[in-house]
A and B are shown apart, each in its own frame.
Chain A
């Protein structure tokens, strides 16, 4: 008889474990060198704590009752537990605060898709450092960690989560009519975006803007003829880019269509791509309003890398 393990979970045997450990050790050394001390928080938190983040986007998938009947949930990322940690353990500490982690997060999976229920993340949170300096520091640490891991051909997509809402505001689309349009955009259905825009009944120039902007991506040259309503967001992206050292700056792809489904992002968002892998290796962004929900209003930025995906990408690069 074979005892199964839950789908989306896995055993790690020594050969793989050695390679994963080698990656995390190199990344950890880089995080520590940049001043990010490692923390660990419980895998289980009170559901109410996790619900302070974004319920729809990062809803915890697994809940249990404790002996007093309270609802506990497995964390779906490390950002919210660290926000709680900052507000409680560092309530009076002078910002900025720098933390890193190597921990498992737990997600729901869709059946038969090989998705992970339990995924190992390596990441940092930088609390109390506003844009653009804080964002630039996070991107710098991200690139240094990927370099240390030995990844060669990666790029970092840089966008701004406030950009598309600002654009919708500018062209006069009422908030209650934005839902479907943003949904289609997040799903990457540009045919659906076109249909929704056509149904808004706005002038041709505004409609063209809504269709064109999410497709703008590439090097610094794509920011040159960006339409006026986006000037503020684009200025923010440029400011981050200018603060980066040349090596990191060369990794950046500006991406005006980068929309993250997670609700707590407030400004810059980024994603890590490698040609050796069809899915992003990691992602991050600014969440300037989240800490306030825990009683310590501080701007913050962070990112998380999927260690397993990083491992697959490294293996894939070897074969090229």
Chain B
């Protein structure tokens, strides 16, 4: 893509991202046909976990990248430029606990501290710090919904698109922390040295 290499997230953002790249004139057939291969030199595409995208872009191993705002918020110290909100992949970062009386509120009132299970420890810690409440953050790697049901934590901080998983596990949203969607990010040095190529991509993205 004009000599640019772009980091593409596998997972929830994958299909919309490939569609966007098609519209930008990239040949994504090879990427669609081969879900084991990671590096597509000819198309200028590398595929990876969404949370690895900022790592590659910050280091300059990819010039551009696409990932969720949730990932960027969790890795806020990464030095990447966030160029544009791509609009797709919309979800909300929420605080949720079991339906009925809010166990999290009760823990805060009676124990002074609430246990929060999350895959986003830094976002969760920042949210509780900013709202002046004490929280013990428990980091888990998957199925966060399990934590309040088993007594590991009183509440969770997690990403939800439709809310279905929360409802299925008897959880309700108590607070919304942030709205997230896919973002186009750039390596700061590439942003200067490959300005024309990157601006051309941006222009086409904005044109829709």
B192 and A191: CB pair below 8 A? no
B37-45, B55-63, B103-111, B151-159: which one contacts chain A? B55-63
In the complex, the answer to whether A273 meets B85 with C-beta atoms within 8 Å is no
Residues of B with C-beta under 8 A to A274: 189
Residue of A110, A191, A192, A218 with most chain B CB atoms under a 10 A cut-off? A191
Select which of B59, B77, B83, B199 is within 8 A of A278 by beta carbon: B59
Interface size range on A against B: 20 to 34
CB distance from A268 to the nearest CB of B (A): 16
| A189, B187: Cα distance in complex, Å | 12
* CB < 8 Å neighbour of A275 from B58, B59, B77, B193: B193
A157 interface residue per 8 A CB criterion: yes
Question: How far, in whole Å, are A248 and B115 apart by their CA atoms in the complex?
Answer: 58
Does B170 have its Cβ within 8 Å of any Cβ on chain A? no
Q: Which residues of B, 173-208, contact A by the 8 Å Cβ criterion? A: 183, 187-193, 195-196, 199
Check if A190 sits within 8 Å of B195, measured CB to CB: no
Q: Are A215 and B199 also in contact (CB < 8 A) when A191-B84, A278-B58, A278-B60 are? A: yes
Residue of A nearest to B185 (CB): A188
Whether A218 pairs with B196 at a CB distance below 8 angstroms is yes
Contact check: which of B60, B193, B199 meets A279 at CB < 8 Å? B60
B16 at the interface (CB under 8 A from A): no
Q: Which residues of A contact B195 (CB under 8 A)?
A: 217-218, 253
List the 9 closest A-B pairs by CB distance, nearest first.
A278-B60, A188-B81, A189-B82, A278-B59, A273-B189, A217-B195, A191-B85, A191-B82, A218-B195
Q: Which B residues lie within 8 Å of A217 (CB)?
A: 191-192, 195
User: Are B61 and A278 in touch, CB under 8 angstroms?
Assistant: yes
Q: A191-B183, A218-B196 are in contact. Are A278 and B82 (CB under 8 A)?
A: no
CB within 8 Å of A: which residues of B? 58-61, 77, 79-85, 183, 187-193, 195-196, 199
In the assembled complex, which residues on chain A have CB atoms less than 8 Å from the CB atom of B192? Answer: 155, 157, 217, 253, 255, 271, 273
Q: For B56, give the chain A residue with the smallest CB separation.
A: A278
Q: Contacts of B77 on A, CB cut-off 8 Å?
A: 110, 113
Q: Mark A146-173, 1 if CB is under 8 A from B, else 0.
A: 0000000001010000000000000000
**Chain B residues whose C-beta falls within 8 Å of the C-beta of A253 in the assembled complex:** 192-193, 195
A163 to chain B: closest CB distance in Å?
Answer: 16
Provide 12 A-B residue pairs closer than 8 Å at the C-beta atoms, listed in order of the A residue: A190-B81, A190-B83, A190-B84, A191-B84, A192-B82, A273-B189, A273-B193, A275-B189, A278-B60, A278-B61, A279-B60, A279-B188
Interface pair A188/B84, CB less than 8 Å apart: no
Interface string of A192-219 (1 = CB under 8 A from B): 1010000000000000000000010110
Contact mask for chain A residues 279-290; partner B; CB cutoff 8 A; 1 contact, 0 none: 110000000000
* A-B contacts besides A189-B81, A253-B192, A278-B190, 6 pairs, CB < 8 Å: A110-B77, A113-B77, A218-B196, A273-B189, A278-B60, A279-B60
Most buried by B among A192, A215, A271: A215
Quick one: which of A110, A194, A215, A280 contacts B189, CB cutoff 8 A? A280
